Structure 1
Amino acid sequence: MPPDSPPAAVPAPDIPLSAPPSLTALFVAFAKMSLAGFGGVLVWARRGIVDQHKWMTAEEFNETFALCHFLPGPNIVNFTMVFGSRFRGIAGGIAAFSGLVGPPVVIMTILGMLYQRFGEIEMLRRVLAGVGCAAVGLLIAVVFRMAMPLIRKRDVVGLVVLAAVFVAIGLLRLPLPTVLLVAIPISIAITFFMRRRGTA
């Protein structure tokens, strides 16, 4: 009697995503992100969308945010419109966008008036310098967390492309449009080749 074959490996189940958000939920969620987003909303957007509400997986967030880099305008604004429209159409995009920009516009208008009057105070300048340092730390933290899916999957090619773009822009100071014109076709070609080889 032939020995029993070993049981097939069961793939790890994906983290279940939450139900699509309503228009009100989109507005409130992005309003909270914008109010917490000192130094940039990206940190809080990823935390709220992926970790807290589970509206997207980490991979989906990275792919959507990468797409928004290639669209004209601020990346996080593009992401907000794409994200809201994905779940609730144009109305969802408007709701998310309104939540993102509405509260900060009101706050920055008030702070601008106060800064115009008290901006020469040395203590205030030191406080703003400290806020700038904290913003850099938050940005580094979110970049590391966005890279984790590539590290977990041991995506060597993706990490190499990531490192090459960082060196080209961050260290060599090459123009961003030039780097993107080179990096985008290479990334698409590599992805197409690897998926085609995987299905062969």
Structure 2
Amino acid sequence: MQPASSNVAAAPDRMSHPLPQSPRDLFVSFTWLALQGFGGVLAIVQRELVEKKKWLTPDEFLEDWAVAQVMPGPNVINLSLMIGDRYFGLRGAVAAVAGMLAVPLVIILALAMVYAHFATNPQVAAALRGMGAVSGGLIAATGVKLIPQLRKHPLGFGICIATVALVFVLIGVLQLPLGWVLLVVGGAACVATWRKLTP
């Protein structure tokens, strides 16, 4: 029989960094994240969960975000669900998702009523286009910040960058459907990684 200390040592390294204190902590934290996420929450989530709260390491965030991307539904909601479930099971999952949705839903409903009155105003339309540009910039900046983690990928940094470039060309330039690109390119990358990791 192995001593208890060896079991602790073999456990994932998650316990070596701070953890959420309670489902309430998850709810408040994800509510704060959602309220900061005008035009896109990904950059905010990465900064808050990895750099400030340190609930996730950069590698864990990258892995969880990859899973959240391929699951149906909004990516950030999927991520909050996974993180909540990891630390507090069903209570944590419900608290995290509620934090992402509850207060922002009230704000969105109020803004929708205001927008209905001003939708035809040219200044409002121009402001919304500007927000779209900012959102794109936030997503691009987060992607750039995650690039160093690709250096640790089993396929190698060069193949990872080539895969990113291929996906950009297929979706951004050739306008191919995201689902097919994810299925073909993502599936091939998963198979190649699995073969690389298999002894």
Task: Output the CA distance in 2 between the equivalents of 1:151 and 1:171.
Answer: 26
Q: Is the 8 A contact 1:33 1:48 kept in 2?
A: yes
Q: Is the 8 A contact 2:17 2:54 kept in 1?
A: yes
Counterpart mapping for 1:2-41 below 5 A: 16-41=16-41
Give TM-score scaled by structure 1 length.
Answer: 0.83
Give the greater-gyration-radius structure (CA).
1
Match of 2:174 among 140, 151, 172: 172
Q: Secondary structure at the match of 2:115?
A: helix
- Bigger proportion of residues as helix: 2
Query: 1:3 — aligned with what?
Result: none
Structure 2 unaligned blocks of 5 or more: 1-13
Query: 2:6 — aligned with what?
Result: none
1:79-133, Cα deviation, whole Å (9 max, x unpaired): 1111111111011111010110111111111111111122222322222222222
Structure 1 unaligned blocks of 5 or more: 1-13
Q: Secondary structure at the match of 2:72?
A: coil
Give TM-score scaled by structure 2 length.
Answer: 0.84
Tell whether 2:194 aligns with 1:192. yes
Query: 2:112 — aligned with what?
Result: 112
For 1:171, the aligned partner's letter is V
TM-aligned CA deviation for residue 151 of structure 1: 4.3
Counterpart mapping for 1:47-126 below 5 A: 47-126=47-126
Bigger mean CA deviation after superposition, 122-131 or 71-80:
122-131
TM-aligned CA deviation for residue 69 of structure 1: 1.7
1:105–1:20 Cα change, 3 Å: closer
Query: 1:157 — aligned with what?
Result: 159
Task: Output the CA distance in 2 between the equivalents of 1:72 and 1:148.
Answer: 27
Tell whether 2:43 aligns with 1:43. yes
Task: Output the CA distance in 1 between the equivalents of 2:19 and 2:77.
Answer: 23
Task: Output the CA distance in 2 between the equivalents of 1:88 and 1:24.
Answer: 11
TM-aligned CA deviation for residue 67 of structure 1: 0.9
1:174–1:129 Cα change, 3 Å: closer
TM-aligned CA deviation for residue 37 of structure 1: 0.3
Percent identity of equivalent pairs: 34
Q: Is the 8 A contact 2:43 2:139 kept in 1?
A: yes
Task: Output the CA distance in 2 between the equivalents of 1:152 and 1:190.
Answer: 15
Q: Is the 8 A contact 2:20 2:26 kept in 1?
A: no
Task: Output the CA distance in 1 between the equivalents of 2:63 and 2:152.
Answer: 16
1:173-200, Cα deviation, whole Å (9 max, x unpaired): 222222122123321222122223xxx5
Q: Which runs of 4+ in 1 moved over 4 A?
A: 151-154
TM-aligned CA deviation for residue 56 of structure 1: 0.7
Over the residues paired in the alignment, what is the CA RMSD in angstroms? 1.9
Query: 1:143 — aligned with what?
Result: 143
